[in-house]
Structure formats: C-alpha cells, structure tokens
Amino acid sequence: MTHPVHRPGHVGARFPKVDGAGKADGSGVYADDIRLPRMLHAKILRSPHANARIRGIDVTLAASYPGVVATLVGAEMPAKYGVIPWTHDEQALATDHARFVGDEVACVAAVDERTADEALRLIRVDYEPMPALLTVEDALAHPEIKVNERAKVGNVTKHVELEFGPVDDAVARAAAVCHQVYEYAGSTHAPIEPHCAVARVDGDGNLTVWSSTQIPHYVQRELSRVLGLPQSKVRVIQPLLGGAFGGKSDPFSLEFCVAKLAMKTGRPVKILFTREEVFYAHRGRHPMRMDVKVALDGDGRISAVDNKIHIDGGAYASFGLVTAYYAGQLLTGPYRFGTYRFDSTRVYTNKPPCGPKRGHGSVQPRFAFEVALDEAAEQLGIDPIEVRRRNFIGENVETVNGQRITSNGFLKCLELVEEASRWTERHGKLGPGRGLGVAGSMYISGTAYPVYPNEMPQSGVLLKLDRSGRVTVYSGASDIGQGVNTLLCQICAEEMGCDPRDVTVVAADTDLTPVDLGAYSSRVTFMVGLAAREACEKLADKLRAAVAAKLGCAPADVRLELGTAAGPQGTMSFAEACQLAEAAEGATLASTGGYRTKKLGGDYRGGTIGASPAYSFTAHVAEVEVDEETGIWTVRKLWAAHDCGKALNPTLVEGQIEGSVYMGAAEAQMEEMIYDRSGLLFGPSLLDYRIPTSLDTPEIDARIVESDDPNGPYGAKEAGEGPLHPAIPAIANAIHDACGIRIRQLPFYPQRILQLLRERDARRAGSERVA
C-alpha cells in the first residue's frame, strides 16, 4: 500500500510521537513522578471476603500508629458513583457491603508507604461473610442473594433483547446452520503503569487531582458529586500515561481517597496501586458464554444470526449497560445479515468488576461469530474467504439493526491478507499441524451516545496563535499512547502551514482545556480531530486575510505551508503572518472548534448505542503450527489489514494494528482471570497472570487500507481497537485448518487443544471401524 506523498509533519506523514522521547529517556512525567512538598502516601485496605456484610470498622489503632496522619472510611463519602449515570453502584470505600475479594474498605494516609501498609493491618473490620456468587449460573439461580443492591431483578445488571426480522423462520429455511456454544474467558488490560493519583487542595479550597485516567472529565464530575464540591472547584489533570486500554476509563477508589484525604489533612496525598491492586481494579474483558446460531442459505449468504449471550460482570456495573448492548449491536458488519437477534444478559458476580477492554463488548461475540461462520461455510463446502467476500455488506448502507455504514474497505482488507498469505495455494494444503485461518470485523469510531445525555459538543478544541509563531492547542482529549497529541500537531501543520514542532499541546486538564469526553470507544482521533480541524480552519482564514491584505492578493491565493505564508507576489514567515493577523484582529488570535454529535442509529430503545459516525473494518489471516503430541501451538505469522479510512500517521496506525494483534493473540494464547472457589483471584501478578513476551508474539504484517470516509477528519476512522477482533477467530480457524479441531473456548490452552486432538483421533478411529 502506498501513501500519498505529504510534507513532513503533515497529515499522512510518519511524524514521530511528540511525547516519544520523554517516554524513552525517562524525562516524561507520569502520575507517580509527581512529588509535592509535605506529600503523604496512602494505602487502601481491601476485603478478604468475596461477599460480606460489614458490621463495623475500627480504625482507632491505625490512626494512632506513629507516622499515620489520617484514616478514611466509606461513611465519610458514602455517595454512590459510576461512569454511567444510570448505574451508580460503587462507593469509594464500602460502607456496609464488600462485594469481592479486593473490594476497598478503608484507607490510611501516612508519611510513607511502608507506614501506611503497616497501619492497615491494625484496622479491625467486623465482617459477616455471606455466600458468594461466582458464576453467571449461580448469580441467576440465586436472586435472593444480592451481589449488588442496584440490580432490580435478581443479579441482572442489564438485559437486552432485540430482534431484527424473523430469525426463526430464516433458521428453519437455512441450507446450513452452525449452532454451537462458545466461551470467552475474562482477561485484563495489564497496563505497565499501575493506577496512580495525587491530590492537592489549595488555600481557597480548590482541589486538584492528577490521575492516570483516560476520562478526566468524568472523573471531575464524579469527584464533584461524591465529595460535594462544585465542579468548578475540582480540577483533574492527566499526566503522561503508561498504558490504559480501557482499564483507566472508570472513576476509581484511589481518586476519591486521595482527594478526601487531601481535604482532611490539608496535605497532598498520593496513592500508587500495587500490581495486585490493578488486578482488583480490573474493568477488563467480560467472560461471555455465547450460544450462537449462524444460518446460511444455499448460496452461502447469511440469512440469520441468533446469539444468546451471558456476560459475567463482576461486582459493579462499570460500563456494563453499554457492554450488554455492544455485545449485540456491533456484530452487524462487515457482512449483511438477513435477520438478527441477540439476547444479552449481564449479571453481577462477586468478583472484580469487568468493564471496557480494547474492543469493548464485541471481541467475544466476534470470536464466536467468525468461527461459527467458518463452521457453517464448511458444511456447504465454501472457502472461508469466499464466504466472507460473498456476504460483504458494501458501502453507504444500513445494517440490519439500523446502523449507517459509510466507507467500507473490508473487501480490500480481505484481498490484501489473502494475497499476502498466499491463501489460495496454501489454505488446506500446508500439511499436518500447520494451517491458515481468516476472520473479519468491524468497529466504531466513537458513538453517538454521550455517557450523560446533553446537547453540548462531545469534544472541543481551543487554539491560540502567539506572535512568535507558536501555536498552542488546548484539548481535553487523553493521549493514552494512541498519539492524539501528535495528530493535533500534524493537523495544525496541515491547516496553517506551521512547523508541527512549533505546536504546543495542552491536554487533558479540566481547568485549562475544553471538554472532551475521554479516550474510549475509539472516539478521540475522529472527534477531536474534526474539532481541531474546525478551529484551525478559522484561524487559517484570519491568517490568509491578513497576509492577503499585506501582499495585495486575494485570501484564496495565500498558501500556508512549510512555515511560510506565500502569495503570488511575495512570501513571509509564519510568525510574520501571525503578527499581521494579530494586528488586524486587535486582540489575541484564538479560535475554537467542536465535534457535535449527529443523530444516528436505529429508532428503538438502545438504537444509538453502537451507532457510530463511521466504522472501521479489518481482516486477518493467521498461520499456526500445532504440535499434535503436546497441544502446544504457535502463530507463525499474522497478516492484518485494517481500513482506518485515512492514516493520519501511518506509523501510529501500524503501531495500533500491531498492538491490537498482540493483545488479541495474547487472549487466544494465555490470558485468563482465574478464581478459586472462594472468589480469590489466582496469582494477581504479572508472573502468574502471564502476558506474552516479545518472544511469544507472532510476526505481524500490518497493512493499512484507506477508504477515505466522508465523515472522518481527512477521511480517518478508528485504528486502535478494531484490529484486535479478528486475531482470535483467525487463530481458531487456522487451528482447525491445521488439525481439524474446533476450539470454542478461550484461552486455547495446549491442554484443551490436546484434549480436542484426542477426541478427534477417537472419532477418526470410530469412523474407520464403522467403515
């Protein structure tokens, strides 16, 4: 794939990340690098019980321990909160009910971490342990035991049932039906940076919280509510972030605790989670059990998809309301479904809460569907790539559930991975133990649904031009490694002709920057990109007008590029152009831009959830090798082609594709949150919870497809989450090609593969006997 030639630093260029050097050389400031005078360190006491009534908490001994400055219990800030306004079901510290092993119960601030740790052991909590519900089955079978009191019916967080067309009729008439149960294990994000927050209160009672969050705006709102402070008195700043992946998109206990302790003590307070605590904070991938039917007509066209989904939510809702929808709503492309039904139930269980992990809600059903599609196509003898091509939904169409698809480069993606993997000559022909598998997917570029209903823009940008030629962009968006700060520099350079290195980005500081809702649902580049472009265009017009007046030409003839402003008869530096424009303005040069949510989605309850202004598309082919004597398998290579509309920075897009493939392959290989019978998470460490090392990572061939979306900034769509989805089913389908087994349960542990191989051999032996 070639990219149009662009000037350095402009949109489409491989401009280096603006925060890259600081991350590499250690000079970057993360939350834990913040050290303030007289700062205290706090630690949180956690429940050792999966489900227990709290009859009392006695902090007297801890409070008098030398070095301890303050203690904190839930009764001091009992208000419930949660990222979604309809499901406020968390407390910073539990007041009367601990809902999982690791749930937060009390907090101590001391002169250092060790003292705080020691003091925690002096807190006496009177627990009344109750039976714990650890599985979906138990949670549904025992409505009389409440995991979370917010649940209206039993332990159900959210139930969604939607049907589009007569599914049962279509299944009855189908030429082939795959009906199987697929099970997706829960996994977590494992960002390298643990959560950290620092709070300070100034003499006027203004609270500042630095937090490793990907949602400063929502954290500001919830801090204000829970602490009873006006929102204008709460400032949230997101420093440099060491990975998030959705694991930092809820308000977390530590943010409330440091804030309240700073208010109580008048001293700055910091909490840095241990790795173990990151596991309890969790909000990772939901375990899902999916009972799926995929029906094909005689031509191999998808006539019906029916999915009954059970979602294991853990003890709190988090984004769970959205999860229950996403699990169904995001499946309806890149293929046309004749009819579709999903019945999705998210339940509370006494485990750390699940939430949004990269590819929120849709990675699990995508796995189930893409494997089931292969299984159904196999019944008809249709090649896996051919069945996907034949069902391509097309461009500028509406999905069966009323989502509007604009650009769609899926066929091109499919073609690229087909060619690169030499599919036609190699699929089904690689010999025993080696195989190829394919899968496709679709994902959103933000959603029309703001987390709290309002008419204001989802994203705003404020731009200021200094007479020195320095451009400052004020953006509320969170750069969590996806590179939005870099893209903002590139967009300024593209629109105004300045050097991208002359752009300062002031980001994610609720006092200084306009609101952006946060880095989730792959919305940031799309929405803040459009907002920035709008702001840039306004200022570029002022620059052109001022330069045109000076040079005696029409504004339209002024070209802003390469750090200069040039007319037909003359040229000047960008700084001179800024000075002319500032003189003409008679005031500071500034402009604003915004992203305004358009009405999208089906006209039914929940129709806006998952309705996106543009969808990205991906196709993967995986090549695997299976050791049939041990069940150990490896991905030899994975080809991933992703339609991101327009690669504003191809290096960053490739990085997102590679990171996504890594994370998807990791879930296929080894990642799982495992609990014992009492609800204790096995091995909350990066030694026991294994994430792949570079040596375990497949060779990845990342390809970019540009479909030039009419709605995105410069045609761009998302690239950070979509490319994860097909990795898992492509690997499962490749394992089938390699050795004729269908693995329907994650992770694809070698023991499961070996067991399936034994069953296959028994079947083969049986059929030989019959023959």
Partner 1 sequence: MMTLPAVDVLRPRSVAEAVAQLAAHPGARLLAGGTDIVPNLKYGMYDTQHLVALRGLSRELRYVRVEEPEGEIRLGALCTIDELARDATVQARLPALAEACAQIAGPQLRRMGTLGGNLCLDTRCVYVNQTYFWRSALGFCLKKDGTACHVVAGGQRCVAAASNDTAPVLLALGASARTVSPRGERVLPLEEFYLADGVHNTVLAPDELLVEVRVPGQAASLRQAFHKLRMRAAIDFPALNLAVALGVTEGAVRSVRLCVGALAARPALVKGLDDLVGRPADRRLADELGRRAHKQCRPLTNIGVDPGWRREVLPVLVRRTVLRALAV
Among 74, 186, 194, 481, the residue binding partner 1 under the rule CB under 8 A is: 194
Q: Contact, 447 vs 524, CB < 8 A? A: no
HSE (CB half, 13 Å, CA atoms) of 107?
35
**CB closer to partner 1 out of 194 and 242:** 194
CB of 493 to partner 1, least distance (A): 40
Interaction residues for partner 1, span 239-298 (CB under 8 A) = 272, 274-276
Torsion of CA 305, 306, 310, 311, to 10 degrees: 30
Supply φ then ψ for residue 613, to 5 degrees.
-65, -20
What's the order of all strands across the beta sheet hosting 434-444?
Answer: 434-444, 615-626, 633-643, 699-705
Among 460, 606, 631, 713, the residue binding partner 1 under the rule CB under 8 A is: 631
**CB closer to partner 1 out of 101 and 259:** 101
Q: Contact, 255 vs 213, CB < 8 A? A: yes
Q: In the 3-class helix/strand/coil scheme, how is 441-471 assigned residue by residue?
A: EEEECCCCCCCCCCCCCCEEEEEEECCCCCE
**CB closer to partner 1 out of 112 and 202:** 112
Best CA proximity match to 105, nearest among 123, 87, 128, 80: 123
For Cα atoms 45, 49, 51, give the angle at the middle one, nearest 5 degrees: 115
C-alpha–C-alpha distance, residues 616 and 230, integer Å: 39
**CB closer to partner 1 out of 46 and 200:** 46
CB of 732 to partner 1, least distance (A): 19
Supply φ then ψ for residue 191, to 5 degrees.
-65, 150
Binding letters toward partner 1, positions 311-350, x by CB under 8 A? ----------------------------------------
Query: Should residue 66 be labelled a site residue for partner 1 when binding is judged by CB under 8 A?
Result: no
Best CA proximity match to 237, nearest among 513, 502, 12: 513
Query: Should residue 696 be labelled a site residue for partner 1 when binding is judged by CB under 8 A?
Result: yes
C-alpha–C-alpha distance, residues 336 and 338, integer Å: 6
Query: Should residue 190 be labelled a site residue for partner 1 when binding is judged by CB under 8 A?
Result: no
Q: Contacts with partner 1: how many residues (CB under 8 A)?
A: 35
Query: Should residue 192 be labelled a site residue for partner 1 when binding is judged by CB under 8 A?
Result: no
**CB closer to partner 1 out of 384 and 664:** 664
C-alpha–C-alpha distance, residues 744 and 759, integer Å: 14
Name the 3-class secondary structure at 129: strand
Structural element, H or E, at residue 35: none
Output the six-digit token pair for 33.
Answer: 């690098």
C-alpha–C-alpha distance, residues 667 and 729, integer Å: 11
CB of 694 to partner 1, least distance (A): 8
**CB closer to partner 1 out of 465 and 670:** 670
**CB closer to partner 1 out of 22 and 129:** 129
CB of 744 to partner 1, least distance (A): 18
Query: Should residue 67 be labelled a site residue for partner 1 when binding is judged by CB under 8 A?
Result: no
Q: Contact, 156 vs 346, CB < 8 A? A: yes
CB of 117 to partner 1, least distance (A): 5
CB of 266 to partner 1, least distance (A): 25
Task: Work out the burial of residue 266: count CB atoms within 10 Å of its CB; fewer than 13 is exposed, 13-18 middle, 19 or more buried.
Answer: middle
CA distances from 238 to 519, 522, 531 (A): 12, 18, 20
C-alpha–C-alpha distance, residues 328 and 368, integer Å: 12
Query: Should residue 101 be labelled a site residue for partner 1 when binding is judged by CB under 8 A?
Result: yes
CB of 622 to partner 1, least distance (A): 18
Among 77, 673, 719, 754, the residue binding partner 1 under the rule CB under 8 A is: 754
612 Rama sector, left if φ>0, alpha if ψ -120 to 50, beta otherwise: beta
Residue range at the interface with partner 1 (CB under 8 A); choices 302-310, 436-444, 710-718, 749-757? 749-757
Interaction residues for partner 1, span 116-145 (CB under 8 A) = 117
Binding letters toward partner 1, positions 12-51, x by CB under 8 A? ----------------------------------x-xx--
CA distances from 557 to 144, 541, 551, 553 (A): 74, 11, 10, 7
**CB closer to partner 1 out of 128 and 161:** 128
What single letter denotes the amino acid at residue 59? V
CB of 105 to partner 1, least distance (A): 11
CB of 276 to partner 1, least distance (A): 5
Q: Contact, 604 vs 402, CB < 8 A? A: yes
**CB closer to partner 1 out of 676 and 759:** 676
C-alpha–C-alpha distance, residues 189 and 128, integer Å: 32
**CB closer to partner 1 out of 165 and 692:** 692
Among 38, 630, 699, 762, the residue binding partner 1 under the rule CB under 8 A is: 630
- What is the C-alpha end-to-end distance of the chain, expressed in Å? 51
Query: Should residue 629 be labelled a site residue for partner 1 when binding is judged by CB under 8 A?
Result: yes
Residue range at the interface with partner 1 (CB under 8 A); choices 317-325, 374-382, 573-581, 673-681? 673-681
CB of 693 to partner 1, least distance (A): 5
C-alpha–C-alpha distance, residues 644 and 617, integer Å: 7
Q: Which residue has the tokens 């019906």?
A: 304
Query: Should residue 558 be labelled a site residue for partner 1 when binding is judged by CB under 8 A?
Result: no
**CB closer to partner 1 out of 294 and 754:** 754
CB of 582 to partner 1, least distance (A): 49
C-alpha–C-alpha distance, residues 285 and 279, integer Å: 12
Neighbours of 509 (CB within 10 A): 18
Best CA proximity match to 209, nearest among 225, 222, 218, 197: 197
Interaction residues for partner 1, span 676-695 (CB under 8 A) = 676, 678, 680, 682-685, 687-688, 690, 692-693, 695
**CB closer to partner 1 out of 269 and 322:** 269
Which residue ranges make up the site for partner 1 (CB under 8 A)?
A: 46, 48-49, 101, 113-114, 117, 194, 272, 274-276, 629-631, 670, 674, 676, 678, 680, 682-685, 687-688, 690, 692-693, 695-696, 749-751, 754
